[in-house]
Amino acid sequence: MDRTEDVRLAVYRTFARTGRAPETGELADRFDMREDDVKERLKILADDRHLVLDERGDIVMAHPFASVNLGFSVMSEATLWWGGCAWDSFAVPHLVPDASPCLVATTCPACGQPHAFVVHRDEPPAGEQVAHFLVPAAHIWDDVVHTCRNQRIFCSDECVDDWLLASGNERGYVMSLETLWELASEWYAGRLDRGYQRREPAAAADYFRSVGLRGPFWGLD
């Protein structure tokens, strides 16, 4: 029996069902393991980029879910989640059974204007807002929490420019809500199933092309 995969599934399915991360003791009781053994398996999962842990070893993210506020809330009829970023928040209704539609709420980082979108599986939400991703794909995991904090939705391209000027950051990649929805729609497919494998770089590049992304920001020609 693959206990590391058991722990991964338990983390993801608990997030999907309840909107929260399971405690280490909860996982230890569930699998009749010592807490140190659970922590070791969480560390393995983090090293394999299935989880993000803080300095204490607690779960911060299990994409598309987060245990802390990174700028997005996602609400279905039954569950409230923190969304890890714009990408992850739009992915939740695609991944979680019976979660569609979800209400995704956030604020513009430039002007503070609140935004809310009803996100379905079958079509993107309407709106003139744009998503700005600051960190290029090749560097997402250099500091993944920083990356996710900076995948945000803005009122307009003008608000993106205002935020870049105020923050001193360089422009990343701007996309429409439709492209954001396409990117999120199948990216995490299968993540709640046993044996899920993350995409290899070539497969990820093919996926990015398939949803209309272009250029060196995504590692594409």
**Distance separating alpha carbons of residues 184 and 170, to the nearest angstrom:** 24
Residue 1: pLDDT over 80: no
State mean pLDDT over 118-136. 96
Q: Pick left, alpha or beta for residue 219 (phi over 0 → left; psi -120 to 50 → alpha; otherwise beta).
A: left
Q: What is the mean pLDDT of the chain?
A: 96
Give me the pLDDT at residue 221, please. Answer: 81
**CB-CB contact of 175 with 131 (8 Å):** yes
State mean pLDDT over 202-213. 97
Reported as a single tens digit per residue, the pLDDT across 22-64 is: 999 999 999 999 999 999 999 999 999 999 999 999 999 999 9
Sign of the dihedral defined by the CA atoms of residues 9, 74, 82, 65, in that order: positive
Looking at residue 160, what DSSP letter applies? H
Give me the pLDDT at residue 151, please. Answer: 98
Only one residue has tokens 């993944």, namely: 144
Residue 89: pLDDT over 80: yes
Counting residues of the chain whose pLDDT is more than 70, the rounded percentage is 100
Residue 92: pLDDT over 80: yes
- CA 38, 143, 208: angle at the middle one, nearest 5? 100
Give me the pLDDT at residue 13, please. Answer: 97
Model confidence, pTM: 0.95
Residue 179: pLDDT over 90: yes
State mean pLDDT over 104-111. 98
Residue 182: pLDDT over 90: yes
**CB-CB contact of 3 with 33 (8 Å):** yes
Q: Please give the distance of CA 9 from its chain centroid, rounded to a whole number.
A: 17
Structure tokens at 188: 């995490």
Give me the pLDDT at residue 152, please. Answer: 98
Give me the pLDDT at residue 184, please. Answer: 98
